[in-house]
Amino acid sequence: MMNQIWNALRDHHAAVEGRAILELFEDEDRAAVFSACADGMLFDYSKTNIDARGLSLLLDLADNAGVAAKREAMFTGVKINETEGRAVLHTALRNLDVPVIVDGRDVMPDVRATHARMQAFARDVRQGRFTGQGGAITDVVNIGIGGSDLGPAMAVLALAPFHDGPRCHFVSNVDGAHVHDVLAGLDPTTTLVIVASKTFTTIETMTNAETARRWMAAKVANPAAQFAAVSTAAEKTAAFGIDAARVFGFEDWVGGRYSMWGPIGLSIMLAVGPEGFDQFLAGGAVMDAHFRAAPFADNLPVLLALVGVWHNQICGYATRAVLPYDQRLSRLPAYLQQLEMESNGKRVGMDGADLTMNSGPVVWGEPGTNGQHAFYQLIHQGTRVVPCEFLIARIGHEADLRHQHLLLVSNCLAQSEALLRGRSLDEARAIMAKKGLTGDELDRQARHRVFPGNRPSTTLAYEQLTPFTFGQIISLYEHRVFVEGVILGINSYDQWGVELGKELALALQPVLEGKAGTEGKDGSTRQLAQWFKG
């Protein structure tokens, strides 16, 4: 059945490929029909070439892929991460009241206990009961990488209007410049360092942690007293000198890129407080409830996923641009790069057989309006079609700068309209004729000013970027990844693709140190290693 639906979608796309999206708006109800709302959010996908027939087929695809059953399995603790034999329960971290059974045991008492410990520690730090050698904590440095860094770093920036705790900084890159530059402006005697590594063995994280400890030891008698850890490796954190009271663990059913809802989000809680963090969790839980209950035709995560499938697997568009018109969401595209590309960047299905179609797209982007003066040129007039996903708040936080927010909104709406409408050669000729050009020069200049248009986009609009709304947005995108993964028949929750490079890096380090030879290496790697050895 799935093959029949895929084929029907391809046939339908072939039939409508040359159609102008703008023609679809001859139906006055199109915008309302091809939109969905949930808890203060509006998702408008009417500026795509999806019509009633296409939407019907896409909904059939979700139905026949078993999205509903797999969704329930995920929420109820079934081990849907089959290659690692694990449940997928990041949703449990933001819905603290409902029992969830894994291997015959309710995991929620432990989740609630850890959450309460995080709250107590955050309050102690924020209220000056936990201090550094020099007094109250003024700065927090979170050391992690990947999911232990991207989520919290993005969230702390996104929630800047709600900061009322210590300043939070993030170190991830093993490049010494990163940790050096972050620590350079801080006072070791009033700095708390959080080391975020589930195993406490991640080489980049632990290398930076050792550097931070040496930096702190220069002025602090017992630097480990100003360290906390997000880790399950109790013996290793103890060996590092971190008191067990400041170690916050989480289960293996929380993947790194889905983990900021729990202990990985400690830096977020320190920045905005336990109450603000709980609002973030509440927003995620509300989107979870919507995802579980809403019919597919009105379900924001399902619709967002189906639009993605239409553009990538059916239309063949290899990338998608995420364009938040919200400066504080400037790290969202980078976060979604990891969330989507690490989750759905696979080449085999759950059964181990090669995929017969492309998996996840390349995800990229920057905030508007900066991007308008950079890569929008390619989006509007380049030879490749790039589906765009706009995000915009109705209300900004800076009430005294409302005129700037209106300018921001007008730019966002104008860009999606320009992608849709374009500018014809006749229109461009008329513009150049008004400038006094004639003949061949008029035609030549006009051609440079043609916009093909007919380029798809979606818009996610929300009231204001609050902790609650931010939780909704992140949960929405998590579930979008899940739905796309189920439709493609892949495991969105492993990441074996990161392993080989790690293994080879460990083997190359002694080569660069002169402790091992380059036997078995290719000629390029041997040459490069020799060059770096000097």
Answer yes or no: is 435 within a domain.
Answer: no
CA dihedral angle for residue 400, residue 402, residue 407, residue 411, rounded to 10 degrees: 120
- What residues make up the domain containing 527? 499-533
Residues 55 and 160 in one domain: no
Q: Six-digit token pair at 332?
A: 């969202």
Residues 468 and 519 in one domain: no
Same domain, 261 and 299: no
pLDDT at 331: 97
The mean predicted confidence, pLDDT, of the chain is 96
- Is residue 271 a part of any domain in this protein? yes
| Active-site residue, from 373, 434, 435, 448 | 373
Query: What average pLDDT score do residues 114-136 get?
Result: 98
Say if CB 228 and CB 192 are below 8 A apart: yes
Q: Tell me whether residue 371 is in a domain.
A: yes
Domain assignment present for 438: no
Give the pLDDT mean for 263-284.
98
Considering the domain architecture, whether residues 268 and 324 belong to the same structural domain is answered as no
- Any catalytic annotation for residue 342? yes
DSSP state of 98: S
pLDDT-based confidence at 499, cuts 50/70/90? confident
Please state which of the ranges 216-230, 241-255, 480-494, 498-512 shows the lowest mean pLDDT: 498-512
505, 382: one domain = no
Same domain, 259 and 351: no
Predicted pLDDT of residue 48: 98
Of 405, 340, 430, 412, which Cα lies nearest the Cα of 376?
412
Clarify whether residues 338 and 241 are in a common domain: no
pLDDT in tens, 129-181: 999 999 999 999 999 999 999 999 999 999 999 999 999 999 999 999 999 99
pLDDT (average), residues 191-214: 96
Percent of the chain surpassing pLDDT 70: 100
Task: Say yes or no: 417 and 503 in one domain.
Answer: no
Which position among 251, 342, 478, 484 bears the catalytic label?
342
Residue 88 pLDDT > 90, yes or no?
yes
Distances (CA, A) of 327 to 35, 169, 352, 397, 514: 25, 18, 41, 11, 46
Task: Answer for the pair 475, 287: CB distance below 8 angstroms, yes or no.
Answer: yes
The domain that contains 415 carries what CATH number? 3.40.50.10490
| 3 state SS for 410-476 | HHHHHHHHHHHHCECHHHHHHHHHHCCCCHHHHHHHHHCCCECCCCCEEEEEECCCCHHHHHHHHHH
pLDDT in tens, 305-343: 999 999 999 999 999 999 999 999 999 999 999 999 999
Residues 513 and 480 in one domain: no
Q: What is the predicted pLDDT for the residue at 516?
A: 92
Please indicate, yes or no, whether residues 173 and 207 belong to a single structural domain of this protein.
yes
pLDDT band for position 60 (50/70/90)?
Answer: very high
Same domain, 106 and 172: yes
Residue of 17, 82, 275, 502 with catalytic role: 502
Last residue of a domain, one of 223, 240, 275: 275
> Residue 506: pLDDT above 90?
no
287 found inside a domain: no
Q: pLDDT tens digits for 396-424?
A: 999 999 999 999 999 999 999 999 999 99
> How far is the C-alpha of 438 from the C-alpha of 445, rounded, in Å?
10
The alpha carbon dihedral of 93, 94, 97, 102 has a sign of negative
Q: What is the mean pLDDT of residues 374-387?
A: 97
In a domain, 450, yes or no: no
Expressed in angstroms, the distance from the first to the final Cα of the chain is 61
Number of domains in the chain: 3
Identify the pLDDT of residue 399.
Answer: 93
Question: Are 506 and 484 members of one domain?
Answer: no
Residue 362 burial (CB count, 10 A): 15
**How far apart are the C-alpha atoms of 52 and 144, rounded to whole Å?**
46
Model confidence over 31-53: pLDDT tens digits? 999 999 999 999 999 999 999 99
Phi, psi of 193 (to 5 degrees): -110, 125
Question: What residue type is 442 in one-letter code?
Answer: L
State residue 497 phi and psi, 5-degree precision: -65, -15
Region 210-235 average pLDDT: 97
Segment 89-104, tens digit of pLDDT: 999 999 888 999 999 9
508 in any annotated domain: yes
State yes or no: pLDDT of 534 exceeds 90: no
Among 215, 244, 275, the domain boundary falls at 275
Domain of 522, CATH number, reads 1.10.1390
DSSP lists the bridge partners of residue 388 as 321, 457
Our answer to whether residue 12 is catalytic in this structure is: no
pLDDT of residue 498: 84
pLDDT tens per residue, range 253-262: 999 999 999 9
Residue 448 lies inside a defined structural domain of this protein: no
β-pairing verdict for 135-136 and 131-132: antiparallel
For 446-467, the pLDDT digits (tens) are 999 999 999 999 999 999 999 9
